[in-house]
Amino acid sequence: MQLSNDVTVSCTSGQSRAVSNEQDSFALDPWEQGLINEVRRLFAGESQVILEQVHERVDRVVLDYVLAQTSGNISQASKRLGVSRPTLRNRSRALGLYTQPTA
């Protein structure tokens, strides 16, 4: 089983497909191709925590956007993201996106 040349891309439908270096990327959305390119870059750099690095980057983009769209309202943002308020608050703090509101 050769996993070193494959990156599994999860689809919103719950299905997944393996994308090898040799496979044409015409069926991928641009963001998926960008993600694959970033994973390849991290892999080539011999990163030992690729998934953690990718999760952090994706979380930062998504949380920053949703918080901006909800004017920083944690309750509204957590509903849109489908996570609890404490989970969103903790993850936002960890990423440096959340500061405690002043009264």
Backbone angles phi, psi at 36, to 5 degrees: -60, -45
Tally of structural domains, the chain: 2
- Is the pLDDT assigned to residue 50 strictly greater than 60? yes
Mark whether 90 and 71 lie in a shared domain: yes
CA distance linking residue 30 with residue 1, whole number of Å: 28
Mark whether 35 and 60 lie in a shared domain: no
Which residue range forms the structural domain that includes residue 18?
6-47
Task: Give the alpha-carbon dihedral of 5, 34, 18, 26, to 10 degrees.
Answer: -110
Mark whether 34 and 11 lie in a shared domain: yes
Q: Tell the burial category of 10 from Cβ atoms under 10 Å away from its Cβ (0-12, 13-18, 19+).
A: exposed
Q: Give the residue with greater pLDDT, 25 vs 12.
A: 25
**pLDDT bracket for residue 79 (50, 70, 90):** very high
**Does any domain span residue 100?**
no
Mark whether 41 and 57 lie in a shared domain: no
CA distance linking residue 51 with residue 56, whole number of Å: 9
Taking only the tens place, the pLDDT of each residue in 26-47 is 688 999 999 999 999 999 998 8
Mean pLDDT on 53-71: 95
Mean pLDDT on 3-15: 41
Mark whether 29 and 64 lie in a shared domain: no
Mark whether 81 and 58 lie in a shared domain: yes
Mark whether 57 and 42 lie in a shared domain: no
CA distance linking residue 27 with residue 45, whole number of Å: 27
**Does any domain span residue 14?**
yes
SS3 18: strand
